């Protein structure tokens, strides 16, 4: 097991590379999509936006991340004594019709394939993705964590506001889309769309030497914003794995999301998927409660026995990385940094003890 850290696009600079290294990180997970485009999203605190009905902002311009750009970032990361382990999430501008089964689906599939080839050529071993129409939604921000630390959670209800045309995965890909909303489809239809994606991308990922890592739905509800979800119970991950058997068809295993699910058991799920060597990396965070009423809390105060999880991972020879993902904001200057430093210190010590 290795200690990693996640950085948003606006954090790809010397200050944040140093911060990650000072926290003990040896590997980085990088978000190249800019989730902070909406004016309501605060880059100064760096807390993950909740999205709300307006989403996170505008998606990109449909261009791929070039090999030159990736190699430049990789060199910067390496110069600070760390390795670039994963990219997390495609830009919706290059795969919205894959998610929506739109007219540009085949064309965008070729873009996604080329992006994975570029990632492989850059020597980045993992690509995380979230096959979701609504993305992360239905959360509120309140002082949920110990000592009144500000965090996110759900309070008994899910956002049922339909997605407007031109929006998918919390981001606007077409500001000039016609009026109306994204039609509601069945769970089977969404699984069929995922099947198309996996059948096309996994062979390319195998050739490129890149592991594809699927995130579970957050929050794990059957429907969010009038759209179905894929992985909202632990056993549903197995269906995704079995759809396209391959060493490159993997999971981005979010402990908090798994614990929020109404069925199953987070320890059994950890054993099930780590024993198959299917976990590419782990969002190592804690929660109290289950959907639709849960709170994200500090890593050492939630429902999950984090040491028990580490012991299961050790038993199954897990060799991937752990990152905090996100964490409550502490009541001081630099609230995001303090929260992350606390989580990193805890994870580092727990790994050493186990």
Q: Burial letters for 4-25: b for 16+ Cβ neighbours within 10 Å, e otherwise?
A: bbbbbeebbeeebbebbbebbb
- pLDDT for 54 equals 73
Report yes or no: 198 and 243 within 8 Å, Cβ to Cβ.
Answer: yes
Q: d(Cα 151, Cα 326) in Å, to the nearest integer?
A: 9
pLDDT of 78 strictly over 80: yes
- pLDDT for 298 equals 98
The confidence band for 258, taking pLDDT boundaries of 50, 70 and 90, is very high
Terminus-to-terminus CA distance in the chain, angstroms? 10
The torsion of the CA quartet 97, 159, 323, 35, rounded to 10 degrees, works out to 50
- pLDDT for 56 equals 82
Of all helices (H) and strands (E), which one includes residue 5? strand 2-7
> What value does the CA radius of gyration of the chain take, rounded to a whole number of Å?
19
- pLDDT for 45 equals 59
* Average pLDDT value over all residues in the chain: 95
pLDDT of 41 strictly over 60: no
- pLDDT for 38 equals 57
- pLDDT for 48 equals 66
pLDDT of 230 strictly over 60: yes
Average pLDDT on 11-32 reads 98
pLDDT of 42 strictly over 70: no
Average pLDDT on 286-302 reads 97
Average pLDDT on 272-301 reads 98
pLDDT of 190 strictly over 90: yes
């Amino acid at each position: 097991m290795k200690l990693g850290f996640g950085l948003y696009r606006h954090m790809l600079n010397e200050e944040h590379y140093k911060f990650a290294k000072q926290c003990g990180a040896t590997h980085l997970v990088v978000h190249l999509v800019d989730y902070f485009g909406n004016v309501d999203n605060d880059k100064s605190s760096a807390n993950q936006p909740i999205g709300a009905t307006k989403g996170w902002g505008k998606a990109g311009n449909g261009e791929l991340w070039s090999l030159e750009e990736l190699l430049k970032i990789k060199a910067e990361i390496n110069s600070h004594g760390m390795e670039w382990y994963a990219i997390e999430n495609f830009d919706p501008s290059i795969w919205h019709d894959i998610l929506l089964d739109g007219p540009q689906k085949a064309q965008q599939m070729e873009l996604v394939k080329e992006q994975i080839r570029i990632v492989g050529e850059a020597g980045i071993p993992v690509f995380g993705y979230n096959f979701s129409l609504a993305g992360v939604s239905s959360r509120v921000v309140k002082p949920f964590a110990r000592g009144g630390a500000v965090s996110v959670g759900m309070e008994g209800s899910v956002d049922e506001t339909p997605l407007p045309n031109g929006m998918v995965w919390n981001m606007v890909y077409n500001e000039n889309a016609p009026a109306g909303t994204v039609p509601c489809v069945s769970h089977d239809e969404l699984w069929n769309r995922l099947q198309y994606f996996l059948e096309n991308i996994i062979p390319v990922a195998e050739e490129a030497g890149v592991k594809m890592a699927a995130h579970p739905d957050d929050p794990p509800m059957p429907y969010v914003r009038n759209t179905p979800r894929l992985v909202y119970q632990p056993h549903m991950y197995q269906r995704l794995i079995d759809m396209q058997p391959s060493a490159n068809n993997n999971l981005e295993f979010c402990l908090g999301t798994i614990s929020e699910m109404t069925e199953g058991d987070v320890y059994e799920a950890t054993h099930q998927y780590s024993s198959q060597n299917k976990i590419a990396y782990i969002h190592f965070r804690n929660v109290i409660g289950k959907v639709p009423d849960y709170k994200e809390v500090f890593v050492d105060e939630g429902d999950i026995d984090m040491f028990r999880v580490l012991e299961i991972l050790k038993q199954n020879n897990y060799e991937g990385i752990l990152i905090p993902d996100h964490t409550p904001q502490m009541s001081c200057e630099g609230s995001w940094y303090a929260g992350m430093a606390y989580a990193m210190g805890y994870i580092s010590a727990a790994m050493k003890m186990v």
